[in-house]
Amino acid sequence: MEGEITIVSNPTVNVRLTNTISSFESMRRFNRGITIAELKGKLEMIVGASPSSMELELFSVSDIFLQKMDDNEALLGSYPVDDNCKIHVIDKSGQISEFTDVSKVEKFELPDDAYEKRTDSARSFMKKHGVGQFNEEEKAKKRAENAARREEEKAAADALSVGSRCKVQVPEQPTKLGTVMYVGTTDFKPEIVMVIVWFYSQGYNLLISHTVFWFKFPLINAEDTWWMSMSGFYISV
Calculate what percentage of the chain has a pLDDT beyond 70: 64
| One-letter amino acid of 135 | N
Q: Is 3 exposed, middle or buried (0-12, 13-18, 19+ CB in 10 A)?
A: exposed
The CATH code belonging to domain 12-91 is 3.10.20.90
Which is more confident, 10 or 39? 39
DSSP string, 39-69: HHHHHHHHH---GGGEEEEEE-TT--EEEE-
- 116 Cβ partners below 8 Å, 6+ apart? 123
Q: Give the per-residue pLDDT at 128.
A: 86
Domain ranges of the chain: 12-91, 108-153, 165-236
199 backbone dihedrals φ, ψ, rounded to 5°: -130, 135
Residue-averaged pLDDT of the chain: 73
* pLDDT tens by residue, 159-196: 777 777 776 666 666 666 767 777 777 665 666 566 55
Rounded to two decimals, the pTM is 0.44
Beta strands 85-91 and 54-59, pairing class: antiparallel
For residue 177, the surrounding DSSP H or E stretch is strand 176-184
Q: Give yes or no for residue 152 having a pLDDT over 90.
A: no
Q: Going edge to edge, which strands form the sheet with 165-169?
A: 6-8, 165-169, 176-184, 193-198
Q: Give the per-residue pLDDT at 206.
A: 37
- 69 Cβ partners below 8 Å, 6+ apart? 36, 39, 56, 57, 58, 79, 87
* pLDDT tens by residue, 189-227: 666 566 555 554 444 333 334 444 444 433 333 333 333
54-58, 79-83, 87-91: range with lowest mean pLDDT:
79-83
No. of helices (H) and no. of strands (E), the chain: 4, 11
| One-letter amino acid of 34 | I
Distance (Å, rounded) from C-alpha 2 to C-alpha 136? 47
